[in-house]
Structure 1
Amino acid sequence: MRYVVVVVVLFMISLVVLGSSDALAPTVSYEWVVSYSQRSILGANKQIIVINDMFPGPILSATAGDIVNVNIFNHLTEPFLMTWNGLQMRKNSWQDGVLGTNCPILPGTNWTYRFQIKDQIGSYFYFPSLLLQKAAGGYGSIRVYSPELVPVPFPRPDGEFDILIGDWFYTDHRDMRAALDNGLSLANPDGIIINGRGPEEAFFAFQPGKTYRLRISNVGLKSSLNFRIQDHDMLLVETEGSYVQKHTYSNLDIHVGQSYSVLVTAKTDPIGIYRSYYIFASTRFTNFYMSGLALIRYPNSPIDPVGPVPSAPGSWDYASSVRQALSIREDLAVGAARPNPQGSYHYGRVIVNRTLIFQNDVMLSSNKLRYTINGVSFVFPETPLKLVDHFQLNNTIIPNMFPVYPSNKLASLGTSVVDIRYKDFVHIVFENPIYDMQSWHIDGYNFFVVGMGFGAWSESKGAGYNLVDAVSRSTIQVYPYSWVAILIAMDNQGMWNVRSQKAEQWYLGQELYLRVKGEGQEDPRNIPVRDESPIPDNFLRCGRVT
């Protein structure tokens, strides 16, 4: 018994010496070559971006607690950054992969992302964050599994499939970028693809009676999509790292940047006669209708499905979509990355320290289209904001420049940074006063979606908030002429990107950064390692940091 005590003491001492248990965590390493490839997609040749010659790219798979190394070799002719949509990068925004935190990986060079996946499980995806490169591909799925000691709240599936749905454009991403730079808006897409393939080119092999987990993400540029499977129901179990109350859906609205996990049980037949089935992803809330098509195939089934295809919801039926969104609730009785239930954190009882309203809109700058948040259209400084902050460079981040509430000021260009106190509990309202779907994402965080509704938001709306079992996620849609309210615990120090997930809006200025710091930590040298990771040894230099 004394021997056991000594071993435990020595183990605890080793953790203190190492600074944390991170040094003992398993490591998962990837080496990715990012390059161009000429491919035919939807019947048209296009130069796309592949990873290790794959489109979509390889699955990034890890377990909560793992340290992940991704060494990226940039074989493009342009700078490159990869961002990890939904991974929280706990206290390590150095690895976030957006231009406000990282200098780009230059052509012909490589750089290694290194981060630990802490207290997080679920389904996500990665994609290029610069220069509208996402329109050329370069994206792939992320799976984060629960630790062995944390039970999963459903039987282990017999198999898993990653399904990446999104709109696709024949036009080269550089030409699309030039059009936006010249003040034009993006045209309608040319089609919908599923796992990088056109109609009936992607298929998923089912075995009778087996249950499969489908991890579905909308990786497109602008289109909300409705996902459904012919003659198969979907049991929703997880969204962006949260286990949800299990409900069966015949179709799911998946907005730009969102991810879901569903369980689908394959059919059985006593005489063993099976057929193929359609998988559909079709546009929602647009002035055009397009659909992507994949197949489920059973053993010895004919290639072509038969029977009626699953009907799409009404194109402009916002009410049913809102009802579906509000029906997705957190399963409080289970744990995610930890054994304790998700409902052990009573967010509805936490005192709100601050309310922020972010209102999206449009403006003209030199007669060219731009998009704004609270009347400010974001422009990047020559040096990433994270480096500006770390090296305390002057005249870049202007205190109190960003109007935290919509005001009567004229719309303008600016570098929007909102200072947030570490560990504050913040109420954010996204207001969408225009006739267009919006989709918002916050890097580094999940947030509780406590309310949504049509019309203008007012403080009286708080009486109807869900303060018990609201879903926690990182990307939320806002319907036209509507609002969404979220609550967020600011427990992740760093410089974090808030952006429209719609590529045109993001590219043309609809983003800002949250600078989360504790009191007395204006100087980065005063931030304890436990609160934020130090600048990495391999950090890239650019702009005023050379």
Structure 2
Amino acid sequence: MLRDQTALCRRLVLFAFCFVSGLITVAADSPYRFFDWTVTYGDIYPLGVRQQGILINGQFPGPDIYSVTNDNLVINVHNNLAEPFLLSWNGVQMRKNSFQDGVYGTNCPIPPGKNFTYIFQVKDQIGSFFYFPSLAFHKAAGGFGGIRILSRPLIPVPFPEPSGDFTVLIGDWYKTKHSVLKAVLDSGRRLMFPDGILINGRGPNGASFTVEKGKTYRFRISNVGLEHSLNFRIQGHQLKLVEVEGTHTVQTTYSSIDVHVGQSYSVLVTMDQPARDYYFAVSTRFTSKVLTSTAVLHYSNSARPVSGPIPSGPTTDINWSINQARTIRTNLTASGPRPNPQGSYHYGQINVTRTIKLVSSAAIIKRKQRYGVNGVSFIPAVDGTPLKVADYFGIPGIFRVGSIPDSPTGRGLVLDTAVMGSDYRGFIEIVFENRENIVQSWHLDGYNFWVVGMDGGKWSPASRKEYNLVDAVSRCTTQVYPNSWTAIYISLDNVGMWNLRTEFWARQYLGQQFYLRVFTPIKSPRDEYPMPANALLCGRAAH
């Protein structure tokens, strides 16, 4: 076994060396971390009944990725499923390297029985993120895991090193097999309400976290679910927020935190209560039926098992959540992973070059439910050619830049391979306007953006007077409250083809997404790395 692992590492090192030396220049002090993952189906029992889950190296959830700023990650993924598979990296920016993003528009799927090696650098990043399977509604079967990117040793962190560091993956879950859920969507119907909430892949009191009295621990909480916002809290303990999706935050203390689908938060918790066991509690937010699940916080010298009522969540008043969201701000005194400290980039003093307004759309098309953005419901290219691959080789007829407008047109929903063009180095404003009675959640691959404003009603240019232009939080996923709007600023400094999508996975699957093509006519590895030597080719690119 040791001989086989050594041989694998040598092959991966050689491959990585050839890749890097042939395509890009990487700092000599940026180490490589190697992962060899096998993806299979297996029986899991998260809610007490047997169902088919997606395992990585036999684990559900999958293994955590531990890394440090600027590490190069080499992740060899063997697909032992009977269908194509891809992994995507929620929040990892893939600087100049959208070929590694792992979504339909950028990568050819890994065929059954084959493997693909992702190679990317966590360039200038810190923080808490997660990975997940992006195709065929696989996300409803598992295949997800945590990602943590630690600061380099010489970069100060704005809090003492905690005594422990835990990944907490929370999300809504169905007992129904993922392929059946997919068939429901393919038939044009909507999914039923989920069956429960999982905490690290387990149902009520299935997960536990062992701590020592008097010490402080970091909990990295990610909502890896399919649709619902969740509230996280710990019985008898306070949560000090310190980081959101790669940004050190003002250290505000909360009794509970709303984590909307696709989002990640880091909190510090001090074990300052009597030695016993306490509930972790996670509940759905803003749903007529409230689902709650629990885990156990176990003091190592605990004298009593968990007991008492499960701590209740906050008021259902949407304003409670909005007010909490507005208190999440960037810590301007903290050092960051980039050469300049966080906050020295004065985003509020940059002229916006373009405003884009995005509104969700829904309609029945050919007797099937579809969702879209600005009147366009995304469909993949007919021949299966990824958009990024087609763009790289100049293959015509795969997509049309401008096939989705900058603002809603009022026309009916249409099907198209939606791509929005944008210029490298532009500085843009995107306004998400929610005209529904649900909380929406939106994510952009390849970027963090500043969440500069959110409020009820419709957005207008006068709304800019209320923007936070000093210390808005920088993140990659944002919520939009019912009948409300959220505005973000983005510096388009990452060339590539980037997926902008709803994090409501059924809607994403049914077309509520598009690709933002950040383009420069100059072909230089300083701006974008060439296609990797090991890239899989499919569709018209394979001919």
TM-score (norm 2): 0.94
Aligned residue in 1 for 2:17 = none
Deviates most, 306-315 or 441-450: 306-315
**1:301 equivalenced with 2:302 (yes/no):** yes
Which amino acid letter does the alignment assign opposite residue 516 of structure 1? V
Q: Decide which of 378, 394, 398 is 2:400's aligned counterpart.
A: 398
SS at match of 1:344: coil
2-side partners of 1:415 and 1:482: how far apart?
A: 28
Q: CA deviation at 1:348?
A: 0.1
Matched, 1:184 2:189: yes
* CA shift digits 1:453-498 (9 cap, x unpaired): 1111111101110000000000001111111000000000000000
Q: Who is 2:455 aligned against?
A: 453
Counterpart in the other structure of 1:543:
539
> Quick one: which amino acid aligns to residue 157 of structure 1?
P
How far 1:258 sits from its partner (Å)?
0.3
Aligned to 1:107: 112
Measure the CA separation in 2 of the matches of 1:21 and 1:395.
Answer: 35
Distance 1:23 1:468 in 2: 36
**8 Å contact from structure 1 (residues 161, 214) kept in 2:** yes
**1:528 matched to which residue of 2?**
524
- Segments of 5+ residues of structure 1 without an aligned counterpart are 1-14
Please list, as runs of the form range in 1=range in 2, the aligned pairs for 1:352-371 lying within 5 A after superposition: 352-371=352-371
Deviation of the 1:302 alpha carbon? 5.0
Give 1:119's aligned amino acid: D
- Is contact 2:204-2:295 (8 Å) kept? yes
Q: Cα distance 1:179–1:26, how it changes in 2: closer, same or farther (>3 A)?
A: same
2:286 corresponds to which letter in structure 1?
F
Which residue of the partner structure matches residue 83 of structure 1? 88
Contact 2:41 2:81 in 1 (8 A): yes
Once the two structures are superposed, the pairs formed by residues 77-226 of structure 1 within 5 Å of their partners are 77-226=82-231
CA distance, structure 2, for counterparts of residue 218 and residue 310 of structure 1: 19
Rounded to whole Å, the distance in 1 between the matches of 2:386 and 2:491 is 25
Note the C-alpha offset of 1:23. 5.3
- The CA distance in 2 between the partners of 1:412 and 1:17, in whole Å, is 43
- Tell me, in whole angstroms, the C-alpha distance in 2 between the residues paired with 1:348 and 1:205: 43
Contact preservation (8 Å) 2:212, 2:301:
no
Could you list the per-position Cα deviations for residues 91-124 of structure 1 after superposition, in whole angstroms to 9, with x for gaps in the alignment? 1000000000000001100000000111110000
Deviates more, 1:71-80 or 1:331-340: 331-340
Please report how far the alpha carbon of residue 436 of structure 1 lies from its aligned counterpart in structure 2 after TM superposition: 1.9
Output aligned runs, 1:58-69, within 5 Å. 58-69=63-74
Task: Name which of 498, 517, 521 aligns with 1:496.
Answer: 498
Query: Does the CA-based 8 Å contact 1:334-1:340 persist in structure 2?
Result: no
Change (3 A) 1:206 1:17: closer
Change in 2 beyond 3 A, CA 1:17/1:57: closer
Equivalent residues of 1:166, 1:221 under 8 A apart: yes
**Given residue 418 of structure 1, which amino acid in structure 2 is its aligned partner?**
M
> 1:17, CA displacement in angstroms?
11
Q: Which runs of 5+ in 2 are unaligned?
A: 1-19
- Pick from 428, 436, 439 the counterpart of residue 437 of structure 1: 439
Report the Cα offset of residue 198 of structure 1.
1.1
Secondary structure (helix, strand or coil) at the match of 1:484 reads strand
What's the CA shift for 1:24?
4.7
Cα distance per residue 1:105-144 (max 9 Å; x no partner): 0110000000011111000000000000010000000000
Structure 1 residues 384 and 190, CA, compared in 2 at 3 Å: closer, same or farther?
A: same
* 2:401 counterpart SS class: coil
The one-letter code of the counterpart of 2:164 is: G
Identity of aligned pairs, percent? 51
Aligned length: 521
Match of 1:409 in 2: 411
8 Å CA contact retained: 1:442, 1:498: yes
| Partners of 1:265 and 1:365 in 2: CA distance | 53
CA RMSD of aligned residues (A): 1.5
Q: Per-residue displacement from partner, 1:245-287 (whole Å, max 9, x unpaired)?
A: 0000000000000000000001265xxxx21100000000112
User: How do 1:19-98 residues align onto structure 2 when only pairs under 5 Å count?
Assistant: 20-22=25-27, 24-98=29-103
- Asked if the contact 2:65/2:148 (under 8 Å) is kept, the reply is yes
SS at match of 1:319: helix
- Contact kept in structure 1, 2:24 and 2:529, CA below 8 Å: no
Q: Residue 485 of structure 2: SS of its match in structure 1?
A: strand
Amino acid at match of 2:491: A
Partner secondary structure for residue 196 of structure 1: coil
SS at match of 2:343: helix
Paired residues of 1:241 and 1:336 also in contact (CA < 8 A): no
Counterpart-to-counterpart distance in 2, 1:275 and 1:442? 42
Residues 305-331 of structure 1 show CA distances to partners (whole Å, capped at 9, x for unaligned) of 23343221123x110100000000000
CA distance in 1, matches of 2:538, 2:24: 30
1:41 counterpart SS class: coil
Equivalents in 2 of 1:134, 1:374: separation in Å?
26
Partner residue, 2:9: none
